[in-house]
């Protein structure tokens, strides 16, 4: 079922198997003919692929990120911040208990269907998590001069454990997304003994998830 921006949908456990849900993200670049014409008009070089990254922020009952993890040193001295945290992203692919798992980074959105996915075991999710925010960020968007107004066929959808589509929220071809480099697509939040899905579509100019996380960190705790 397709839902509209601003709407909320109750995920009925009697109708869907919520032991495992997949939240999938998909997108396409603009058609090559359109890109070529714009490059010719602006005198620009061939643009880089659009790399959209799916992130999940797992918040507590106060709407805050409780665990910011630690910095992990990888091979060749590369350091990964927020490792083991309540932020699931391409450098922190899962919670320690594996109740939320990221499918990994897809750098160009090629191919049909979902380009990136999150697998969530709602029935096993720790009680301290009250909502999950789904952010999408265009990697190096400001450097590459890219924004959501240049992305086609962007969507987020949820499927149950039987691969039955619960809902889909399409987010493309909206003039208000011009110059927006990141997006709060949607959220899932606890509602009694169940869960609700809210389609949000809130754009931000930043392309840094560190900037996005600041509003969810309680620096006094």
pTM: 0.87
In 3D space, the residue among 200, 199, 17 whose CA is nearest the CA of residue 122 turns out to be 17
Those residues whose C-beta lies under 8 Å from the C-beta of residue 33, and which sit 6 or more positions away, are none
Percent helix, percent strand, percent coil in the chain, to nearest 5: 15, 40, 45
Strand duo 100-102 + 79-83: pairing: unpaired
pLDDT per residue rounded down to tens, the chain (221 residues): 899 999 999 998 889 998 999 999 888 766 653 445 455 555 555 556 788 899 999 999 999 999 999 999 887 788 888 999 999 998 899 999 999 999 886 554 455 568 899 999 998 999 999 999 999 999 999 999 999 988 888 899 999 999 999 999 987 667 788 899 999 999 999 998 889 999 999 999 999 988 999 999 986 65
Domains annotated for the chain, with CATH where assigned, are: 8-37+49-216 (2.60.60.30)
Compute how many other C-beta atoms are within 10 angstroms of the C-beta atom of residue 116. 21
| 201 class by beta-carbon count within 10 Å (0-12 exposed, 13-18 middle, 19+ buried) | buried
Cα Rg, the chain, nearest whole Å: 18
């Amino acid at each position: 079922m397709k839902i509209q921006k601003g709407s909320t949908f109750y995920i009925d456990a009697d109708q869907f198997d919520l032991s495992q849900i997949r939240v999938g993200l998909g997108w396409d670049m603009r058609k090559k003919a359109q890109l070529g014409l714009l490059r010719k008009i602006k005198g620009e070089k061939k643009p880089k692929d659009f790399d959209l990254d799916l992130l999940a922020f797992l918040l507590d009952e106060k709407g805050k990120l409780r665990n910011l993890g630690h910095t992990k040193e990888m091979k060749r001295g590369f350091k990964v911040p927020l490792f083991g945290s309540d932020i699931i992203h391409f450098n922190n692919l899962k919670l320690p208990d594996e109740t939320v798992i990221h499918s990994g980074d897809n750098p160009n959105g090629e191919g049909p269907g979902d380009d990136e996915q999150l697998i969530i075991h709602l029935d096993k999710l720790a009680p301290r998590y009250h909502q999950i925010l789904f952010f999408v960020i265009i990697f190096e968007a400001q450097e590459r001069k890219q924004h959501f107004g240049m992305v086609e066929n962007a969507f987020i959808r949820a499927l149950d454990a039987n691969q039955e589509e619960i809902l889909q929220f399409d987010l493309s071809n909206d003039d208000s997304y011009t110059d927006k480099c990141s997006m709060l697509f949607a959220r899932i939040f606890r509602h009694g003994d169940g869960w609700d899905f809210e389609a949000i579509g809130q754009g931000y100019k930043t392309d840094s998830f560190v900037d996005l996380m600041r509003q969810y960190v309680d620096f006094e705790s």
